[in-house]
Structure 1
Amino acid sequence: MIRYDALDALPVRGALPGLEDALAAHGTAVLVAPPGTGKTTLVPLALAGLLGHGPARRVLVAEPRRIAARAAARRMAWLLGEKVGGSIGFTVRGERVVGRHARVEVVTTGVLLQRLQRDQELAGVDVVVLDECHERHLDADTAAAFLWDVRQALRPELRLLAASATTDAEGWARLLGGAPVVEARGTGHPVEVVWAPPPRPVRPPHGMRVDPALLAHVGAVVRRALAERPGDVLCFLPGVGEIARVAAGLGDLGAVDVLQVHGRAPAAVQDAVLSPAERRRVVLATSVAESSLTVPGVRVVVDSGLAREPRVDHARGLSALATVRASQAAGRQRAGRAGREAPGWVYRCWAEAEDARLPRFPAPEIQVADLTAFALQAACWGDPDASGLALLDPPPGGAMAAARSVLTAVGAVDAAGRATARGTTLARLGLHPRLGRALLDTPGDAAEAVALLSEEVPRAYGDDLAAALRAVRRGGGGSETGRGRREGGAGRAGGQEGAGHTGGHGSAGRSGDAYAARWRAEVRRLRAVAEGSPGARPHDSTDRSTHDSTDGSATARPTTAPASDRAPALTPTLTPDRTAALVAAFAFPERVGRMVGGSYLMVSGTRAELAEGSALRGAEWIAVAVADRPIGRGHARVQLAAAVDEDVARLAAGALLREGDEVGWSGGDVVARRVERLGAVELAVRPLADPDPALVRDALLDGLRQEGFGLLRWTPDAVVLRQRLAFLRACVGDPWPDVADEALHARVDEWLEPELGRARRRADLARLDAGQALARLLPWASGQAGRLDELAPERIAVPSGSRIRIDYANPERPVLAVKLQEMFGLQESPAVAGVPLLVHLLSPAGRPAAVTADLASFWRGGYKDVRAELRGRYPKHPWPEDPATAEPTRHTKARQAR
């Protein structure tokens, strides 16, 4: 029996006529409706014709999260007075409840992508609703682009609706071919904002770290809200670890239940949160509760103001989740949860003045996430570089290049980026392409380890993949050793302990049991997929989406993975531990690492460190399945890995195995070795007695680049020659050569090659005459070389008859340092190549007495002061009153008289 009273109370009802008209006229529309108006539940029912009017249609609703998909389906079924499985069904990863006559099916965006790859026409579907578009998840953006292609090329009658509470409506309208924008005016209940900043400054979030003082403050605000306001409290926190910490601080609330909800929480806990309760509740949630969910009884929201977003370090092949300030759009979504059923309140744990400085919308996932799976989807769709896809934001070129590198390495795409048959298979596995490669290529039963890595692993299992597998086989409850607990990081975020009631503590055992149940279901699915069983149905029951990991639990994946695409064969016995190690190594071959100097050097060249007390300490080789690089740290931090041996390392990263002569400049000299290496990891090294002369030459040149041409023998004449040439280059230009270091490196073949060809080590360079080599650069061919002494002489004659050396150290103004008495009678300053010399006039003792570039002016003015100061100190030397007419001399007065 349809619950018309509940349907009539939904404010979006008033927008239905306009929405139907827009879809009828254009086939596409954008619906903007505030939280709580019924856009997720009432609109699909109306479009499907299930409310007693309108044509019967089959409607597919895509949600970004599994918890939202299940909740939306159950709410719609309740509104119709049915159970899920009749007119309303849902499909999420590992769970499908869809009846034969279903008119509305709610799926995750990951499931929708799988269906589109299998059946581009979406046969039998009349309308697709993309819900919560404002969240800008990568799968949702991709699905929208694919659907637009389908409508343009295959099914112009397919209707598309983009729906959101807060979004760039105009952007989506442009993307959908100028779609009309329909707005539903919310007549929901008012929500009062209470600003509740911390009493003292707290440290801003850094990487995954959140200041414990802020979490303590959030807990205090929850207590304040319970005391000041009626109803249940919904508190938003960035990740599972933060939820657990706040829950621990609320353990003494007594008559108040504390629930923890996130994307990995057991279905029973999620159902309990979405059901009315007799006791008062505090619900601690990640962003999974921002949209598409109504938590009954909630009148108060406490917003920490924080969120988690992915960050990818393509250079190191690592990714991390970063804690960031939540956007204004997210803040509005969160606040809206308080006004669903009655007037409410939102306590914001920041100052009102900070609110205007928050970003308007969250960063689009396509700009910050690992794009490997997206690139495979695009390649299978027939658009390898995604240039033809209708996307609000284009994928970054660097991220796409890194993704194509991974896909090429696993054989998913060819040299042109087109999907191979293997790539098509990988795309349909419902796994990240890395894990798909491990499932296909690992000998034996890889499903258990792949299933473990496909979802967030409880941190209580530790960082040893083999031990984690043993723990999950036992049904959870923690690692065997209890060591190596992770405190967060890319793909971890504090683990899974927050999944239950009892004052918010939710035991690790219960969390592990829930995880173990999901793991066993995924193992069964993967085994069926790997064996090609017709019952696997990957297109219906899989979802590679990681959007439920907005609690900080998205698996960190690197961006380069050179590896063979051939299925390997191993002769040793394949124990479960060894199979797990192979899975990690095949999925992340560039993250195989060897202990070198206190940390693991991975074949990618990045170093990784284990946590103190890790069960993996002592292993010579490991394969790192999950790692991050916290902001400000140079080394990666291992979150989950497996101990491997060198045979596994060679097999998994075989494409990076090289053996050859390596001759280079190291430690200040030429080093020649025969090296076998796996990427950056050296496996075996021996000295090379007779290295290739060409390699030696390159090493010497590298040494000269690193340490400069000071490695050569520079006689005083050679130094002066380089200075003279630099002067002529500066004041005359061509054909005089540029003798700066960069220019000399560029022309090394012309001037240094004969000598360099005879050198073998640093000591040989020190015997090379730089001046003799440099002379080869003089313009001999043009005949100008003979003018060197004319244009830039080493010495110049002065009035006394002396020939004084010119200092060309400054190529723009050479210096002539000469005793003052030797310049008597000279009216104009001497010049070379038309450039006046800067004359340093010296005292009889050879000390500078004056500096001038204009002798005539100096004789008229400055000389008087110099004469007055020095003639008493040097009475034996001539100090005439008129130096311009005096006889120049380099002698004393007595010797001059003789």
Structure 2
Amino acid sequence: MDVDTISRLLADPPDLPVRHGLPDILAAVRSQGVVVVQAPPGTGKTTLVPPAVASAVPGRVIVTQPRRIAARAAARRLAHLLGEPVGRTVGFSVRGESAVSATTRVEVVTTGVLVRRLQRDPELPGVGAVVLDEVHERHLVDDLALALLVDVRSNLRDDLVVVAMSATVEAERTAALLGGDEPAPVVAVAGSLFPVDEVWCPAPARTARTDERGVTPAFLDHVAATVRRALAERAGDVLVFVPGAGEVEGVARRLAGVDADVRPLHGRLPAREQDLALSIGARRRVVVSTAVAESSLTVPGVRLVVDAGLSREPRTDHRRGLAGLVTVGVSRAAAEQRAGRAGREGPGAVYRCWSAHDHARLVAHPQPEILTADLTAFALELACWGTPQGAGLALLDPPPAAAMAVAHATLVALGAVDADGHPTARGRAVSAVPADPRLGRALLDGAELVGSRRAAEVVALLSDDVRAPGGDLVAALRAMRRGGPPSSAWRSQVDRLRALVPAGSGATDLTDDLAVGLVVALAHPDRIARLRPGGSTYLMTSGTGAALAPGSALVGLPWLAVADADRGAGRRDATIRSAAPLDLDLAGVAAPALLQEQDVVAWSGGTVVARRTRRLGAIELASAPLAGPPPDLVVQAMREALARDGLGLLRWTEAATSLRRRLAFLHAALGEPWPDVADAALLADLDSWLGPDLRRPRDLARVDVAQALRRLLPWPAASRLDVLAPERITVPSGSSIRVDYSGDQPVLAVRLQEVFGWRATPRLADGRVPVLLHLLSPAGRPAAVTADLESFWRTGYPQVRAELRGRYPKHAWPDDPLLASPVRGVRR
């Protein structure tokens, strides 16, 4: 190894802003072993910090990048500065490709490669330092790598140097986490961007950016038109930002014929085409890129940026059991980083495909993936590290409990972890597959069922998130097999996956259609779907509805294995993005745990209906009437009916209603031991009063509710029910009048003449509550209302007597009602 190559570079480094911060960075490395470098894109931190660290520590320096294309480009850039080929002093390792040697001092890897090395050997033998680049992007694997390295420094290797590099002001949080007891030093490096003009280019009125199928063709037309405008108005190469590989190809096609070389740039392209996009050519270039060029790549020659204002981020719908990438508006922070690409080499301009008004409403920062993404793979990594649920790990944000619960349940169903979250032997095998755990399971099991090659082919398609035309994944597989530029990376992935499983022929009698469907179903048993009767939509085993895009060749197939579905904004059913044919027998092979035969007893149409059903998850396969249903299921059905439809299912006789009202009155007036008989209380305590009736299957309307309520009467206080809250009260005339307990206060409605001689208002509940007397005229209409009879005779009666004696002359209207005899009928 030429030990002087790095020293020569550092002795006369390129004129990049970060060179001024190198002394402080190296001082922190030597004194504390940790440091956070805060520097905006374009300051040269990826180029100069790793060799500077290599000059200060023994062993290899590992540098992480969030994407394969960025790792290769960073290694190539540094090797060029050293005047060497890649693989000597500077090398790289990404999934499926590596260029390193025994002389390599600086190795650039994707963060996923680093995590796998940590899982294999946490001590990282031969490694002196790890430089985590672009930690501000908050990818899930980046958060995990940072937490694992902090754990390694705390428990295994306090000599391991860790440098975290961030482009945002959140560096302080990273420093607090990385330093442990004392925050790591933060070295801030100012940027030196040239001025960048803002040009607002909103789409024409009524042009939607996205719909249920993704980015609209009309908006891609607008992006391409904006690129043509930028080419005409200003000099320099153009960098165009769109959300995904499909949009890259769409805009590139629309730019056919422009006086420039149009170069697509995204992670699925072969390395040769990626290198072509990152190299200055003989002609002006238009580089159409995903977010891969946002901060972690240098694209030389760019003086103009055209930003579509969209990004693709992970989202998980736990209610529907759907996870995937969704297209969302870009954040202000990302928009500023994209614009900065135009000002690295000289004054430039950014053409934004939205208005200044819309810009002010953008979110400040994208959400960390740990808060929005599916956490199944993350949870398996935690389990294999020995920290189920992440207990004790230094994570920038704790994972949401609900998302972790879903991830744990998924891993248990895959047989990857036990009930306590510890990995099984199968889980470690699944973890060794460089893909989502569901795809790892599909590869391992699918190889035995359809052969290792076909299983690897399908898993490679799924791991690259291939969007199949018309949603037909089998057609996408056949297109890949035919060859062409997009298939080379896929073939390499197929070979890598095949090497992970034993060679096997699998079921040779399965067609490719069904073989693809079976592998997809193994990966996503919760997305096996059957066509709904008499409709064009599907029901998945998870219970979620789904629909194919119009015109798909799969429309009408009775069974599908759905590989990708999104939430279908504004729609009841999810939208199927890719799927393959399946049949019932293979569905049972892929998801045996979902096959159930159960007795279903439910309340329907006013009675208990019992059926024996066979189901695949939420999909009912067969059903037949069940004679003599088990009593416990009958009780459960009646309970569920009452909880759903309320106590109105019972027959409330006058006696039952009266008793309930009297008990409610005593509960309000005296409290315990008199029971609460409101709907919520009765439904919450069905056993104590309705239990015996539910255990004798019958029509709910035949239950004697009054008798059931009497089970709630407290003893021995129940013996005083008729004293504390009498159903009737005898008045001076001898009549027994029913008390109305339906209101806030008990009411006794009685003819005025029947209470002559009654001096005081009767009181109930041990004298605590006076009865509200409704004193009626001879015609039965209220003449007066009082809860103070003594006061009424003095002040109210004379007025009532004056008003009614002329109207009812045949009735008694004595001057002194306290001395008069009460009468029921007419008496002069």
TM-score, normalised via structure 1 length = 0.84
Aligned residue in 1 for 2:513? 577
- Residue 603 to residue 692, structure 1, CA distance change in 2 (3 Å): same
Say if 2:263 and 2:285, in contact at 8 Å, map to a contact too. yes
2:329, 2:510 → 1: CA distance?
A: 47
Aligned residue in 1 for 2:234? 229
Match of 2:44 among 35, 38, 53: 38
Match of 2:344 among 340, 344, 347: 340
- Residue 242 to residue 465, structure 1, CA distance change in 2 (3 Å): closer
> How is 1:58-457 mapped onto 2 (pairs within 5 angstroms)?
58-177=60-179, 178-194=183-199, 218=223, 221-243=226-248, 250=255, 254-350=258-354, 358-442=362-446, 443=448, 444-445=451-452, 446-457=455-466
Aligned residue in 2 for 1:506? none
* Deviation readout 1:515-554 (Å, 9 max, x if unpaired): 211111111111111138xxxxxxxxxxxxxxxxxxxxxx
1:5, 1:162 → 2: CA distance?
A: 24
1:366 is displaced (CA, Å) by 1.1
- Residue 165 to residue 867, structure 1, CA distance change in 2 (3 Å): same
RCO higher in 1 or 2 (8 Å CA, sep ≥ 6)? 1
Aligned residue in 2 for 1:773? 708
Match of 1:694 among 614, 632, 654: 632
Q: Which moved more, 1:729-738 or 1:36-45?
A: 729-738
Say if 2:468 and 2:476, in contact at 8 Å, map to a contact too. no
- Residue 876 to residue 314, structure 1, CA distance change in 2 (3 Å): same
Say if 2:467 and 2:578, in contact at 8 Å, map to a contact too. no
1:297 is displaced (CA, Å) by 2.0
- Residue 743 to residue 227, structure 1, CA distance change in 2 (3 Å): same
Say if 1:301 and 1:334, in contact at 8 Å, map to a contact too. yes
1:288, 1:95 → 2: CA distance?
A: 19
2:175, 2:690 → 1: CA distance?
A: 66
Aligned residue in 1 for 2:523? 587
- Residue 5 to residue 382, structure 1, CA distance change in 2 (3 Å): closer
Say if 1:148 and 1:176, in contact at 8 Å, map to a contact too. yes
Aligned-residue sequence identity (percent) comes to 59
> How is 1:803-842 mapped onto 2 (pairs within 5 angstroms)?
803-810=736-743, 812-824=744-756, 826=758, 828-833=760-765, 834-842=768-776
Say if 1:672 and 1:691, in contact at 8 Å, map to a contact too. yes
Aligned residue in 2 for 1:520? 491
Aligned residue in 2 for 1:547? none
Secondary structure of 1:126 counterpart: strand
1:360, 1:724 → 2: CA distance?
A: 61
Q: Which moved more, 1:269-278 or 1:867-876?
A: 867-876
Say if 2:541 and 2:617, in contact at 8 Å, map to a contact too. yes
1:239, 1:871 → 2: CA distance?
A: 93
Aligned residue in 2 for 1:465? 473
1:353 is displaced (CA, Å) by 6.2
- Residue 820 to residue 377, structure 1, CA distance change in 2 (3 Å): same
User: Which amino acid in the other structure matches residue 527 of structure 2?
Assistant: R
1:153 is displaced (CA, Å) by 2.5
1:233 is displaced (CA, Å) by 2.7
Secondary structure of 1:40 counterpart: helix
Say if 1:208 and 1:322, in contact at 8 Å, map to a contact too. no
Which structure 1 segments of 5+ residues have no match?
A: 476-512, 533-566
- Residue 814 to residue 250, structure 1, CA distance change in 2 (3 Å): farther
1:201 is displaced (CA, Å) by 8.9
Q: Which moved more, 1:212-221 or 1:72-81?
A: 212-221
Which structure 2 segments of 5+ residues have no match?
A: none
1:169 is displaced (CA, Å) by 1.1
Say if 1:66 and 1:263, in contact at 8 Å, map to a contact too. yes
1:828, 1:78 → 2: CA distance?
A: 108
- Residue 414 to residue 757, structure 1, CA distance change in 2 (3 Å): closer
- Residue 882 to residue 141, structure 1, CA distance change in 2 (3 Å): same
* Deviation readout 1:220-253 (Å, 9 max, x if unpaired): 554554444332232333334555565566556x
User: Which amino acid in the other structure matches residue 708 of structure 2?
Assistant: A
* Deviation readout 1:396-448 (Å, 9 max, x if unpaired): 12212211212222222223211222222221221111111111112222111
- Residue 200 to residue 651, structure 1, CA distance change in 2 (3 Å): closer
1:210, 1:888 → 2: CA distance?
A: 88
Aligned residue in 2 for 1:896? 827
User: Which amino acid in the other structure matches residue 29 of structure 1?
Assistant: V
Secondary structure of 1:48 counterpart: helix
1:165, 1:19 → 2: CA distance?
A: 16
TM-score, normalised via structure 2 length = 0.90
Aligned residues: 810
1:742 is displaced (CA, Å) by 3.4
The answer to whether the aligner puts 1:843 opposite 2:777 as a matched pair is yes
- Residue 239 to residue 347, structure 1, CA distance change in 2 (3 Å): same
* Deviation readout 1:266-304 (Å, 9 max, x if unpaired): 434422321113333333332111112222221122334
Say if 2:209 and 2:219, in contact at 8 Å, map to a contact too. no
2:507, 2:222 → 1: CA distance?
A: 58
1:629, 1:775 → 2: CA distance?
A: 52
Q: Which moved more, 1:392-401 or 1:294-303?
A: 294-303
1:838 is displaced (CA, Å) by 2.4
Aligned residue in 2 for 1:537? none
1:89 is displaced (CA, Å) by 1.7
Say if 1:47 and 1:57, in contact at 8 Å, map to a contact too. no
1:358 is displaced (CA, Å) by 4.2
- Residue 109 to residue 690, structure 1, CA distance change in 2 (3 Å): same
> How is 1:380-779 mapped onto 2 (pairs within 5 angstroms)?
380-442=384-446, 443=448, 444-445=451-452, 446-460=455-469, 462-475=470-483, 513-531=484-502, 573-597=509-533, 598=535, 599-760=537-698, 764-779=699-714
Say if 1:218 and 1:304, in contact at 8 Å, map to a contact too. yes
Say if 1:207 and 1:321, in contact at 8 Å, map to a contact too. no
Q: Which moved more, 1:375-384 or 1:132-141?
A: 375-384
* Deviation readout 1:472-524 (Å, 9 max, x if unpaired): 2122xxxxxxxxxxxxxxxxxxxxxxxxxxxxxxxxxxxxx232111111111
* Deviation readout 1:313-356 (Å, 9 max, x if unpaired): 22321114344343333233212211111122334455556656
1:628, 1:669 → 2: CA distance?
A: 39
1:863, 1:251 → 2: CA distance?
A: 101
